[in-house]
Amino acid sequence: MDRQTIPGSNLVPFDFDRDMESVLRTWSEAGWWDDEDAQKEKISDFFMANDGRTVVGLIDGSAECVVHRTLGTVRYDQQLLSLGCVSAVTTSRIARRRRLASRLTARTVAHLADEGCAVAMLGMFDQGFYDRFGFGTGAYENHAWIYPGALAVPAPYQAPQRFDLDSDSEELHEAMASRLSVHGGVVVGGERLTAAGMRVDDDVSIYGYRTDGQISHFLAVVTTGEHGPDRITQWAYQTPEQCLELLRLVQEWGDQVDVVRLTEPVWLQLQDFIVDPGAQLRRTKGSQTGALRIEADAWWQARIVDLAACVEAMGPVDEPFSVVVRIEDPVEPHLVNSGYDGDWNGLDGTWRLSFGATHTAERISDGEPIDLETTINALTRWWLGVLPASTLVAMGAFECTADTADRMDTLTSHLPKPQPGWDF
């Protein structure tokens, strides 16, 4: 039997009453749920909080694969674009390798397109799987493991307040939504999802500050035992000064906690606030838990869903020019037998991108001389400013002349490194 043919299977929208228990079993088989009742409630909340935007693969009526999606925004340079996040992709142990996750992921991207998203993003388990639906890898982020007592943050200490994911969820979401916005910064879902997302995997404690009576800056931390390591899973601040106030708060934990892990904002260098970082690196090297470390990884991926909207958001050019691009989009074959019955089938085809007073992207018929051949994966990475066109040419991901690559790079070379600032 063809391993992709599954008798009794059906790919349909998630139904909470019918599917929640089997989705939990799927999460348990993936190692994402350890059968504790408290976490069961949190996972159920997470699935309730996205307004029904989940699809499942049923086999004999039982959900054996699930894909969750949420709407939001992503900042591109100076503009906000509509965003869809793909999350919680899981297949049970009896249903793997039968293209269930592939079909449901492709269908989810198509639903996001129909819902008006310009861009889709996700957190990947590894590079490769989501490339098959047009996603390209995002920028590195720095993660630091530091001894808080070795911090010397130039900000005054203020005693924080304790916040609560139930009673303060609306304000916490507002603080996330109005936080200092950087290129690539995302806001996902509403207050229910902010709270559900922050606690679905972790027991977090939240500390922070109010300004004019409203929560303005906070951090959510997972603590481990008496001495850590503690992990900051989320933080929000509206100004650089408020970010430093939060770091100053972390510094105070040094009388008890040995290690705190946090993700570095793209606009600062944490090492600037560490006393004698060179000596600390040498002295703690080899320690299993207490070493000062700063490590980088690229954990998220993105893909352009609405090319015209993405091109339109790009910055101005000095001289108008256009590029005829042959785009390969691998998503379409995965939409076959996915249960998707809309019109979106990806961006595969020939496009003219015109850059001038305004920028446009239009599909054109084959036959015009092609300036650039690429995939939607690579085009997205260039558009976001993850890699320049010249590097993509060297990698074989862009096929174009050096002159075309140079012109394209004038559109993205000013972009800072994109950073989502949200765990989706």
Ligand X SMILES: CC(C)(COP(=O)(O)OP(=O)(O)OC[C@H]1O[C@@H](n2cnc3c(N)ncnc32)[C@H](O)[C@@H]1OP(=O)(O)O)[C@@H](O)C(=O)NCCC(=O)NCCS
**C-beta of 31 vs 369, nearer to ligand X:** 31
419 in contact with ligand X (CB under 6 A): no
Q: From CA 312, how far away is CA 363, in angstroms rounded? A: 15
Q: CA-based angle 81:87:88, to the nearest 5?
A: 170
CA 397 to chain centre: 23
From 89, 106, 165, 415, residue interacting with ligand X (rule: CB under 6 A): 89
DSSP state string for 229-283 = -EEEEEEE-SSHHHHHHHHHHHHHGGGT-S-EEEEPPTT--GGGGBSSHHHHHHH
108 in contact with ligand X (CB under 6 A): no
CB of 91 to ligand X, least distance (A): 3
The span of 93-101, 169-177, 209-217, 222-230 binding ligand X (CB under 6 A) equals: 93-101
CB of 115 to ligand X, least distance (A): 21
From 102, 234, 242, 280, residue interacting with ligand X (rule: CB under 6 A): 102
CA-wise closest residue to 136 among 391, 410, 409: 391
- What single-letter DSSP state applies at residue 133? G
From 43, 66, 83, 100, residue interacting with ligand X (rule: CB under 6 A): 100
Q: From CA 77, how far away is CA 75, in angstroms rounded? A: 6
Torsion 145-150-155-159 (CA) sign: positive
Q: From CA 297, how far away is CA 245, in angstroms rounded? A: 26
**C-beta of 88 vs 113, nearer to ligand X:** 88
**C-beta of 65 vs 117, nearer to ligand X:** 65
CB 387 within 8 A of CB 407: no
**C-beta of 32 vs 321, nearer to ligand X:** 32
The span of 119-127, 136-144, 204-212, 284-292 binding ligand X (CB under 6 A) equals: 119-127
CB of 93 to ligand X, least distance (A): 8
99 in contact with ligand X (CB under 6 A): yes
Gyration radius of the chain over CA positions: 23
Q: From CA 63, how far away is CA 56, in angstroms rounded? A: 6
From 40, 96, 143, 192, residue interacting with ligand X (rule: CB under 6 A): 96
CB of 301 to ligand X, least distance (A): 10
Q: Where are the beta strands (DSSP E) in 60-138?
A: 62-76, 79-91, 119-123, 136-137
Q: Residue 24 corresponds to which amino acid? A: L
**C-beta of 29 vs 170, nearer to ligand X:** 29
Site string for ligand X, 58-77 (x = CB under 6 A): -------x------------
CB of 102 to ligand X, least distance (A): 3
Q: Is 219 helix (H, G, I), strand (E, B) or coil?
A: strand
Q: Is 412 helix (H, G, I), strand (E, B) or coil?
A: helix
Site string for ligand X, 123-142 (x = CB under 6 A): xxxx-xx-------------
From 10, 41, 97, 154, residue interacting with ligand X (rule: CB under 6 A): 97
Which residue minimizes CB distance to ligand X?
Answer: 128
Site string for ligand X, 22-61 (x = CB under 6 A): --------x-------------------------------
Token reading at 259: 């290690």
**C-beta of 89 vs 246, nearer to ligand X:** 89
177 in contact with ligand X (CB under 6 A): no
Backbone angles phi, psi at 176, to 5 degrees: -65, -45
Q: From CA 277, how far away is CA 295, in angstroms rounded? A: 15
Q: How many residues bind ligand X (CB under 6 A)?
A: 18
101 in contact with ligand X (CB under 6 A): yes
CB of 112 to ligand X, least distance (A): 16
CB of 176 to ligand X, least distance (A): 22
Residues whose CB falls within 8 Å of the CB of residue 338, separated by 6 or more in sequence, listed in order: 11, 103, 104, 106, 107, 110
Query: Which stretches of the chain bind ligand X, using CB under 6 A?
Result: 30, 65, 89-91, 96-102, 123-126, 128-129
